[in-house]
């Protein structure tokens, strides 16, 4: 590490709000140098980065890409025979596939190639899946619009003049077009469920920590989730069986495993043998049908509820306290955590576990050298977060406490019902020319499940003017098996 000058020390002290009297400056500078002197020895220590990646990999850019869904075609074949043998899976481009470019939808990350598979990639391959593609997303997975990726928008296959939604737009489109059999996306405010709903497929956001985040670019650590997208509930259930469960490599999954009520597995079985309609009760959330949701989507949702009631499903109307506060809570937490992670150069301070040092060093170097290449939308998020950090930790702490209050409100609403019901999005997929409209709150009904960190799934619910509409079901923490069984029954009733 380069020697530390007194000017640099003064700059660091000012940036971090640490007093540095002139009389102590030289003493402190020498002590800092002493603390940091052994760091170069760290490079000589062994790591376990490449111990499980293994195998030859090939990749190529798509020759044709009509919807902008594919980032790179790749060949990362299954490691073993298993329940997913013969299944071609795509993963969002913020998920590491060793030897394949991981550009995260950003010009900042052009040419970056990770050296280790993400935990979910390892698990998919162990379960027999072939990783066939990395899939396009909004820049750094930071938008629901589907329009902020460095290579342009991801277009909706039902109408290419409309967005596929984001940030996992490529994952949803690739399933619809048959480029892959199923996909893994990420969801911090709705980024699995929004594009799944816009494109007419099934998308699941599990409980926070159920699926490990090792090898995934961090966005908002306390609200980041990975989840499957497929053409059916069972398709999602099969993927979740393969990727769920704690690992020492990911502390968030270990924390989840220590929580009361933790349970994992049995998802495909639950979806294959769903409960009878008469044994289910759904709670229709009144705030999910309010003014923020367009009347045609409300009507489509109410029609689905009527069909379910006619099939024998019990239906109740429920209210959730603080529902409309989730936007403020989510944004404050997300912006603060995002800016802190960026300032740290991608260092996994909170995530810990087994990480790829070369990957973190690459993120650090690229964000420092090419930060001016970040798009305007993501840049605005970073600077909003920087402003919050500058004002201290009080707002962040208040948002953390408010998140718990909202979670308790949802748990109260879930008492006595199997799942809560809302439309997935407040409208159909916007035209690309209207995708930036601030009056369209993409995540109005998906955001709450990220704030509460409970599982939620979107199912196709017909169409409005020829464009898909989604129906969302939300359940309690670690109730994925119950949720998927309920969703499978709803899927049959609405088909």
414-434 burial by CB neighbour count: b if 16+ within 10 A, else e? beebbbbbbbbbbbbbbebee
Q: Which two structure tokens, joined as six digits, stand for 488?
A: 């499978």
Q: Which two structure tokens, joined as six digits, stand for 63?
A: 């020759």
Query: What is the C-alpha to C-alpha distance for residues 458 and 453, in angstroms, rounded to an integer?
Result: 16
DSSP 402-468: HHHHHHHHHHHHHTT-SEEEEESSSSSPPBGGGTT-TT--TTTTTHHHHHHT--EEEEEEEEETTEE
- Burial group, residue 187, by CB count within 10 angstroms (0-12, 13-18, 19+): buried
Are 376 and 138 spatial neighbours (Cβ–Cβ below 8 Å)?
no
How many CB atoms neighbour CB 43 within 10 A? 8
168, 191, 232, 334: the catalytic one is 191
Q: For residue 201, which phi and psi values (nearest 5 degrees)?
A: -130, 180
53, 92, 253, 330: the catalytic one is 92
Active site residue 381: no
Query: What is the C-alpha to C-alpha distance for residues 288 and 293, in angstroms, rounded to an integer?
Result: 7
53, 106, 143, 167: the catalytic one is 167
- Burial group, residue 389, by CB count within 10 angstroms (0-12, 13-18, 19+): middle
Active site residue 330: no
3-state secondary structure of 76: strand
The C-alpha angle with vertex 75 and arms to 69 and 77, in degrees rounded to 5, equals 125
Active site residue 253: no
Query: What is the C-alpha to C-alpha distance for residues 140 and 222, in angstroms, rounded to an integer?
Result: 16
Are 215 and 235 spatial neighbours (Cβ–Cβ below 8 Å)?
no
3-state secondary structure of 475: coil
Active-site positions read 92, 167, 191
């Amino acid at each position: 590490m380069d020697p530390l000058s007194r000017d640099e020390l003064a700059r660091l002290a000012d940036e971090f709000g640490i007093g540095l009297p002139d009389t102590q400056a030289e003493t402190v500078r020498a002590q800092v140098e002493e603390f940091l002197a052994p760091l170069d020895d760290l490079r000589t220590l062994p790591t376990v980065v490449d111990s499980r990646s293994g195998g030859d990999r090939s990749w190529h850019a798509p020759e044709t890409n009509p919807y902008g869904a594919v980032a790179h075609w790749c060949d990362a074949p299954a490691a073993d025979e298993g329940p997913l043998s013969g299944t071609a899976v795509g993963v969002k481009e913020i998920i590491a596939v060793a030897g394949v470019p991981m550009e995260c939808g950003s010009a900042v990350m052009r040419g970056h190639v990770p050296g280790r598979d993400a935990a979910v990639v390892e698990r998919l391959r162990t379960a027999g899946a072939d990783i066939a593609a990395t899939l396009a997303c909004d820049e750094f997975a930071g938008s629901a619009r589907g329009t902020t990726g460095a290579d342009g928008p991801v277009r909706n296959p039902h109408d290419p003049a409309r967005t596929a939604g984001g940030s996992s737009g490529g994952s949803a489109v690739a399933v619809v077009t048959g480029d892959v059999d199923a996909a893994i996306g990420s969801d911090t405010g709705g980024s699995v469920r929004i594009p799944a709903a816009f494109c007419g497929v099934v998308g699941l956001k599990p409980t926070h920590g159920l699926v490990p985040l090792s090898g995934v670019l961090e966005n908002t650590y306390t609200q980041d989730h990975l989840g499957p997208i497929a053409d059916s509930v069972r398709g999602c259930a099969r993927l979740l069986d393969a990727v769920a469960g704690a690992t020492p490599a990911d502390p968030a999954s270990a924390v989840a495993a220590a929580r009361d009520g933790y349970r994992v597995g049995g998802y495909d079985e639950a979806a294959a043998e769903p409960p009878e309609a008469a044994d289910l009760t759904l709670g229709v959330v009144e705030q999910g049908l309010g003014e923020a949701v367009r009347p045609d989507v409300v009507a489509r949702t109410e029609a689905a509820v009527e069909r379910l009631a006619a099939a024998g499903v019990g239906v109740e109307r429920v209210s959730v306290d603080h529902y409309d506060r989730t936007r403020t809570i989510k944004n404050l937490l997300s912006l603060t955590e995002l800016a802190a992670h960026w300032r740290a150069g991608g260092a996994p301070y909170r995530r810990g576990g087994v990480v790829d040092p070369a990957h973190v060093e690459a993120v650090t170097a690229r964000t420092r050298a090419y930060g001016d290449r970040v798009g305007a939308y993501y840049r605005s998020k970073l600077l909003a977060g920087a402003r919050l950090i500058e004002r201290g930790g009080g707002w962040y702490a208040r948002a953390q406490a408010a998140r718990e209050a909202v979670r308790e409100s949802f748990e109260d609403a879930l008492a006595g019902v199997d799942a809560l019901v809302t439309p997935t999005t407040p409208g159909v997929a916007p035209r690309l020319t209207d995708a930036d409209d601030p009056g369209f709150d993409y995540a109005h009904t998906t955001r709450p499940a990220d704030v509460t960190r409970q599982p939620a799934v979107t199912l196709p619910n017909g169409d409005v003017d020829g464009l898909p509409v989604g129906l969302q079901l939300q359940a309690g923490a670690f109730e994925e098996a119950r949720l998927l069984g309920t969703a499978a029954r709803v899927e049959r009733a609405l088909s």
